[in-house]
A and B are shown apart, each in its own frame.
Chain A
Amino acid sequence: MTNQALLAIGIFLVTYALIISEKVNRTIVAMLGGILMVLFGVITQEQGIDHIDFNTLGLLIGMMIIVTITAQTGVFKFMAILAAKKAHGNPLKVLIFLSLITAGASALLDNVTTVLLMVPVTFSIARQLQVNPIPYLLSEVIASNVGGTATLIGDPPNIMIGSRVPELDFMAFLSNLAPIAFIVLIATIFCLVVIYRRDLKSSPALQAKIMALNEKDEITDTRLLKKSLTILALTILGFVLHGWLHVESATIALTGAFLLLLITGEAYLEEAISKVEWNTIFFFVGLFVLVSGLVHTGVIALLAEKAMALTGGDSQTTAFLILWMSAIASAFIDNIPFVATMIPMIQEMGNLGIHNLEPLWWSLSLGACLGGNGTIIGASANVIVAGMAAKEGHHISFLYFMKVAFPLMIMSIILSHLYIYLRYFM
């Protein structure tokens, strides 16, 4: 191993350790890690820039803009109250319906955005029913991580995989991951209903109060709603067709975002741009450059060789190793740097003789996305919801979250294991 490779490993490990420790903002750490790779001559600036995946960044920015504008219409509150009414105010049915809405929205939007939109209205509904909001918050955050697994645009790991592997388009993600995501979602909601069946009880009088709510009043701007939903629908249609159109997913998302800004007017431009999570965007930039240091010095190729030696180059064993390793790692560390590291490693495995990489990509996606449900720090959405709950006086401890969510995460990985075996290796 060359000195440059050792230096790259050193920078990578220190950066990773600092990200995990959460002592310093992860974006600052990732950016500095990437910059150090250039400053120490591990890679040139041009090589670093070459590794920044602008498709991932464009897709994230485009969808963030669309969601920011759509959220202002009150459509999420409308849907949540309508769902509570369809459940006749029955607290357990409300939990099921809110989880399904969250999962569905997360499949099309960023998970963090989805929970940010769902949590406020959840507090409102729980207050009317005079029940503890924590079961709802937990169910929603778990459902958002499961729902996000189903599509190319639902969760950052999928965006990254889809972006780096051109043959895996929106429909490939949907047809391969949506079935198992749906199975996991149903099984998870069933377990959550069993877990909380005694806690979620309300009186007929309180349930009647839910039925008396006027969900239509939640829509604040009907014209904006029509425009936003039209553009959102066209954007999703664009994702469905992007494989056939030979247009990258970022182009679709950015077209949708700026078309929406064109028809809604300049008034929305500033807020939409300012609400893009630039922290996350720069976090990605830093990670792409950081990982490029490992790629250029041959470290990733070496790791891939070791993994191949461990599994004997067998595709099935490798897929299961990736699935479980990704799940356990993602439960405790940020899945974005993990996936950023795994992508070139799996690509290298293709060079080393595994011909069918597809099951490996799905294993990585399922492990990284569903693994995030294991602990409160496993996914950004978990951290956000726990923070929002604590601020409102409902503390969700690390252990409480883990006690409920970790077994559900293991169940989801067992289901995924069976799915991968039955679908790709039988």
Chain B
Amino acid sequence: MVTYTYDQQLVEITEVKGEADITFRVTIKSDEMRTRLKALRAHLDHDKDFTDALFYTHLDGTYEVIVRNDFYLPFLLQAFRLRCIESLSWK
């Protein structure tokens, strides 16, 4: 099982598991993290797969990211690479 940690000063992340995907609800607490999340989105928007991760911005400033089950690990890896999360490990 993959687990991850993130800097709670910069971001708050919750996860809801669905049948075919996992929904991340992301609350950004700093402009720096907003820039990183936008970079993550730009990366995923430019890949060839449209439904691997779907990004939504809400009017209240929170983000929702729906990630397909098969893309969960690649998504976390990319989030780690762009420093949206702090650590990633197998347990």
Contacts and interface: CB of A to CB of B under 8 A. Distances in A.
A120 B57 contact: no
B50 A212 contact: no
Contact of A212 (B48, B51, B60): B60
Interface string A217-248: 11010000000000000000000000000000
Interface centre among B51, B55, B60, B66 (most CB of A within 10 A): B51
Contact of B49 (A119, A212, A392): A392
Contact of B58 (A119, A120, A212, A220): A212
Given A120-B45, A220-B42, A392-B49, A212 B59 contact: yes
Contacts of B73: none
A17 to B, nearest CB: 32
Contacts of B42: 220
Given A120-B45, A220-B42, A213 B58 contact: yes
A127 B54 contact: yes
Contacts, number: 35
A388 B50 CA distance: 8
Interface in B55-87: 55-61, 66
Nearest to B46: A72
A391 interface: yes
Nearest to B61: A214
Nearest to B52: A392
A124 interface: yes
Contact of B51 (A128, A213, A218, A392): A392
Interface residues of B, number: 15
A123 interface: yes
A392 B66 contact: no
B50 A214 contact: no
Contacts of A388: 50
Nearest to B54: A124
Given A392-B49, A392-B51, A127 B57 contact: no
B56 to A, nearest CB: 6
A213 B50 CA distance: 19
Contacts of B66: 127
Contacts of B59: 212-214
B25 to A, nearest CB: 12
B20 to A, nearest CB: 9
A213 B54 contact: no
Contacts of A212: 58-60
Nearest to A216: B57
A120 B50 contact: yes
Contacts of A128: 56
Nearest to B55: A124
A128 B51 CA distance: 12
A127 B51 contact: yes
Nearest to A119: B50
Contacts of A123: 50-51, 54
Nearest to B58: A212
Contact of A214 (B49, B51, B57): B57
Interface in A369-402: 388, 391-393
A213 to B, nearest CB: 6
Interface of A: 119-120, 123-124, 127-128, 212-214, 217-218, 220, 388, 391-393
Given A124-B54, A127-B51, 4 more contacts: A213-B57, A214-B59, A391-B49, A393-B51
